[in-house]
Every structure is written in structure tokens, then in C-alpha cells.
Amino acid sequence: MYEIKSLKLGHMDNLIYLIKDKKTNEIAVIDPAWDVDAIFNAADKMEGVITQIFLTHSHYDHVNGVDEVLHRTDAQLHVHKIEDRFWGGAGRNATLHSGGDHLKLGSTELKIHHTPGHTPGSVCYELDGNLFTGDTVFVYGCGRCNLRGGDPEAMYHTLNKIGKSFAPEMTVLPGHDYATCPSSTIGQQLNGNPFFNIKTLHGFVDYRMNKHYRSMPYGPVS
């Protein structure tokens, strides 16, 4: 069994997640950033030890605590091999992954899904009925595709795949708290997230790149 704790940190409303394997008390941190002391305090409260770092992608606001966590612990860093190349994560001795790989945190197992679009090596982590989506899926939004490495066509295919691959009850745990609620389900996103409801590639690319000017907090569209 496991326990999940989320922290909202930094001026960009990042959501950082800690997963504790209850059998071994090992903790994985997803996207450590902004306030590493807060992350360690949370780990202490959970009575666990940080042994792994899982990155959803390598943008600054998701990785700016990585080096300090590596410095203060014996943790192993995990990143998609394409993202590592894109990031230039040299010197951190990351374990490089491909989509479909499984990760072990004590007796807890996660699966990596390669979900390019926001960056070339973005991933989502699946843990039972939970999907940690980084900047791929936001609650009623999705990550920008106009930053370096962004690709709106890839994002279209990624969201199509996500919509078809997971049960409607699957919980979506995004990398930012940009919406009326911090988490959601695949079913709610299929219904109310505009990015899951544009049926053509051309229409999606045009909306993502030129027309998406909704203000935060994001809510459902009908």
C-alpha cells in the first residue's frame, strides 16, 4: 500500500507529489521544485525517506529542487531518455526510461507513459487509479506547446491516446493547480476539457497555438 501527499509550491502554483510505500517507508518525489525544505518536512511528517525522484519533464519550474534533493539524500533520479537529452541532465546519473517501463518504489509499482507534446520526453506516471500528468493534462487544460520542444501535433495524439487508454474513474493529478479544483478524473476531462473535445488535428493545433486565451482558474466548458 501507499500514501500520496501533494504540495502546492512556488509562484507558478506547481503541484509536487510525494508517494510513500507503506511497507518500506520509501518516498518518491515527483518534480521537486521551489521549496525543498517544505518537501523534506512533508517527508518527515509522512515518516518516510526520500529514495527516488521521478520527473514528468524538465522545465525549470519542475526541476529546480532536483540538485538539492540529490545533494541531501541518496535518491535516484528517473527521467525519460528523450527528456534527458532535451534537458541535458548530464552529471546527475539519472536512470533513463522508455514508455511502458515499470518503476518500483519498495513494494509499490508505477508505470511510465511517454506523452510528448509539452516537451519531447514528457511522461505521465500511472499508479493504480492515479495518473500524475505533469504539464501534459491540466484540470480543464493542457500544457503549452509553444515553448522550446513543444509540439501541438504530438500533444493532439497524446491526449487522444490518454482519453482512450484510461478508465473514466482514473484520477488526474496535474503538475499545476490552475483550475477550480486541484485534481479531477479522466471522465470529467473527457466531458469538460476543451482539449479533449476538438476532433481534428488542424482544429486542435489552431486552438492550442492561437485561440486558447481562457483565464484561470480553468473550469469545464460545455
Q: Which residues bind Fe ion (CB under 5 A)?
A: 59, 135
CA 104, 105, 109, 111 dihedral sign is negative
- Closest approach, Cβ 15 to Fe ion, in A, equals 12
Closest to Fe ion by CB, 83 or 135: 135
- DSSP secondary-structure letter at 88? T
Strands 95-97 and 76-80, bridge-based pairing: parallel
The C-alpha cell that represents 200 in the structure block: 481534428
Compute the distance between CA of residue 123 and CA of residue 125 in angstroms, rounded to an integer: 7
Closest separation in Å from C-beta 134 to Fe ion: 7
Closest residue to Fe ion in the complex (CB) = 59
- Smallest gap from Cβ 183 to Fe ion, in A, equals 18
Nearer of residues 135 and 177 to Fe ion, judged by Cβ: 135
Please identify, using beta-carbon distances, which residue of 20 and 78 lies nearer to Fe ion.
Answer: 78
CA dist 58 and 170 (Å) reads 25
* 29 grid coordinates: 518525489
Taking the complex as a whole, the smallest distance from the CB of residue 85 to Fe ion amounts, in Å, to 17
Kindly give, in sequence order, each residue whose CB lies less than 8 Å from that of residue 97, ignoring residues fewer than 6 positions away.
78, 79, 80, 81, 103, 112, 123
Residue type, 37: D
Minimum CB separation of residue 144 from Fe ion in Å reads 7
Instruction: Name which of 21 and 31 has its Cβ closer to Fe ion.
Output: 31
The residue (of 21 and 135) whose beta carbon lies closer to Fe ion is 135
Task: Encode 206-218 in three state secondary structure.
Answer: HHHHHHCCCCCCE
